[in-house]
Amino acid sequence: MRFTHRTLSQRVRFASGDAAAALAEEVTALGASRVMVIAAAGKAEVARRVADGLPVAHWHHETAMHVPLPVAERARAAAREHRADALACVGGGSTTGLAKAVALTTGLPIVAVPTTYAGSEATDVWGLTDNGRKTTGADDRVLPRAIVYDATLTLTLPADLSAASGLNALAHCVDAMWGPRADPIDRALAGEGIRALRTGLPQVADDPAGLPGRELALYGAYLAAVAFASAGSGLHHKICHVLGGMFDLPHARTHAVVLPHVLAFNAPAAPDAEARIAAAFGTGTAIAGLDLLRVRLHAPTALRDLGMPEDGIAAAVRAVLGAVPANNPRPVTADDLTALLRAAWEGTEPR
């Protein structure tokens, strides 16, 4: 065995029902006295509850999906103006993403309180969108110093969004099996992530107000993100990244639609990954496991339903082609991508 695995350093707390106390402790541990709290306008009340005990210098409520550059620049200016010395973000991946955009230029430490299964809080990856082009990068400065997972904050996440967000986490696990830096540790974490998600997400679907399913889903989402951060973006994420930036598609739902098509495409050329995913699902094949879960969760199936224009397929193929990871389990041609994206656009059976 020869590999080099990098473990990212952060404190991770699972504290159902105790986000406020845990967040206050993490902020105190940073020695911060002027916290900028970032939360979407619709989450302002939750953020006030969670950040109740903090020395807040500024409440920032302008967030947007895929972190548009002007939104990031206004948040950076606010951090400067209010002389913030730490950032606390309460929300989904878009909110965490904005905190990361601020940390990227200011170096301010982040404590993240996630409310979806996106997993951004456990990665050192930032993303910004400028004029329909999404740029991402990895930087130690954007990795939150601490994460507070409080599953009670996810009880309000609607069933459809919970399913899509959970499948976004599952996509992290799948891509972690064959990403450019995938190693045995990533694969072990990803396998446990799939097990947690395939158990937790159906529980969430059956009982959205029940805590055990929510906790398992958050646990799976965390493992998924850690594995993904180490392994790097595989073909699936390269495709979704292009689609998200080009057509402003909803992030989690896009992942939910595209994942089975990439799995069906890569699995025959990646027998070890296929076997691990199948074992984690407890099914005969990886595809069968994912299909069962998607049906159970009533996952979205077609990009056209998410607003992608049919005549966008060709442009997306061109953009993805230049980004296919060199180590993808099988070569990817323009025809392959066209067939894959057309099937995902139409919502036909993954092949």
**Interaction site with ligand NAD (CB under 6 A):** 40, 42-43, 65-66, 91-95, 97, 115-116, 118-120, 123, 125, 127, 153-154, 156-157, 161, 165, 168, 251-252
Least distance CB 24 / ligand NAD (angstroms):
20
Q: How many CB atoms lie within 10 A of CB 11?
A: 14
Asked if 66 and 36 count as a contact pair (C-beta separation under 8 A), the reply is no
Contact 26, 13 (CB under 8 A): yes
Measured from the CB atom, is 120 or 301 closer to ligand NAD? 120
In the complex, least distance from residue 34 CB atom to ligand NAD, rounded to whole angstroms = 25
CB of 187 to ligand NAD, least distance (A): 19
CB of 255 to ligand NAD, least distance (A): 8
Which bin fits 245, alpha (ψ -120 to 50), beta or left (φ > 0)? alpha
In the bound state with ligand NAD, the residue whose beta carbon lies nearer, of 159 and 279, is 159
Residue whose CB is less far from ligand NAD, 222 or 345: 222
Instruction: Name every residue whose Cβ is closer than 8 Å to that of residue 162 and which is 6 or more positions away in sequence.
Output: 117, 154, 201, 204, 205, 208, 217
In angstroms, give the least distance from the CB of 334 to ligand NAD: 25
Residue closer to ligand NAD by CB (options 55, 250) is 250
Residue placing its CB nearer to ligand NAD in the complex, 93 or 274: 93
206-222 per-residue burial string, b: 16 or more CB within 10 A, e: under 16: eebeeeebbbbbbbbbb
- Residue 42 C-beta: closest distance to ligand NAD, Å: 5
Indicate the residue among 86 and 227 with the shorter CB distance to ligand NAD: 227
CB of 115 to ligand NAD, least distance (A): 3
Question: What are the distances in angstroms from CA 228 to CA 13, 101, 164, 191, 215?
Answer: 19, 20, 17, 12, 20
**Whole-angstrom Cα Rg for the chain:** 19
CA distances from 181 to 146, 234, 306 (A): 24, 9, 31
Closer CB to ligand NAD, 213 or 287, in the complex: 213
Looking at the Cβ atoms of 127 and 234, the one nearer to ligand NAD is 127
Pairing type for strands 11-14 and 133-138 reads: unpaired
- CB-based contact 313:341 (threshold 8 Å): yes
Distance of CA 153 to the CA centre of its chain: 17
Instruction: Name which of 161 and 211 has its Cβ closer to ligand NAD.
Output: 161
Cβ 147 to ligand NAD shortest distance, Å:
12
Q: Which two tokens stand for residue 180?
A: 């450019």
CB within 8 Å of 77: residues ≥ 6 apart:
none
Min dist CB 6 to ligand NAD, Å, is 15
Nearer to ligand NAD, 166 or 329 (CB): 166
Return the amino acid letter for 35.
V
Q: Which residue's beta carbon is nearest to the bound ligand NAD?
A: 93
Rounded least distance, CB 224 to ligand NAD, Å: 9
Assigned token pair, 135:
């740029």
Please state, in angstroms and rounded to a whole number, the distance separating the CA atoms of residues 19 and 47. 10
